[in-house]
Structure 1
Amino acid sequence: MPSIIPPFSLRIPEKLLNKMRIIAERNKRSTNKELEFIIEQYVSSYEDKYGSIKVED
């Protein structure tokens, strides 16, 4: 089944990406899921501080 999540390309320094891969492996996640988790935490923290962000579906 195809994903409904649109693809997104991220340019990141190789050294940082390699560190993210290690962190993801330790957390038993793919690198993509680890980055998604981190971004979700950041957005949640931002919204806690500044209020909910409304987006159109």
Structure 2
Amino acid sequence: MPSNVPMRGLRMTDELYLKLKAIAKIENRSYNQEAVYILQRFVAEYEEMHGVIDVNTDDLYQ
């Protein structure tokens, strides 16, 4: 089933990519789902320490 979430590019080393794929397999997630999960956790932890980051998604489409 296609997703309504926009595709974003990300550059990384081959080693990091393969390690992330391995972690995703262990966690029964797709590579993309694992990357999103890790990034969501990082942002949540950052906001806990530094406060909520206010963003306006409308800025993406101007």
Output the TM-score relative to the length of structure 2: 0.83
Q: Which residue of 1 aligns with 2:34?
A: 34
Structure 2 stretches of 5 or more lacking a match?
Answer: 58-62
Shift of 1:2: 4.3
Q: Which residue of 2 aligns with 1:46?
A: 46
Structure 1 stretches of 5 or more lacking a match?
Answer: none
Dislocated runs of 4+, deviation >4 Å = none
How many residues get paired? 57
Output the TM-score relative to the length of structure 1: 0.90
Question: What is the identity, as a one-letter code, of the residue corresponding to 2:20?
Answer: M
Q: Deviations along 1:18-46, whole A, 9 cap, x unmatched? A: 01110000000001000000000000000
Shift of 1:4: 2.2
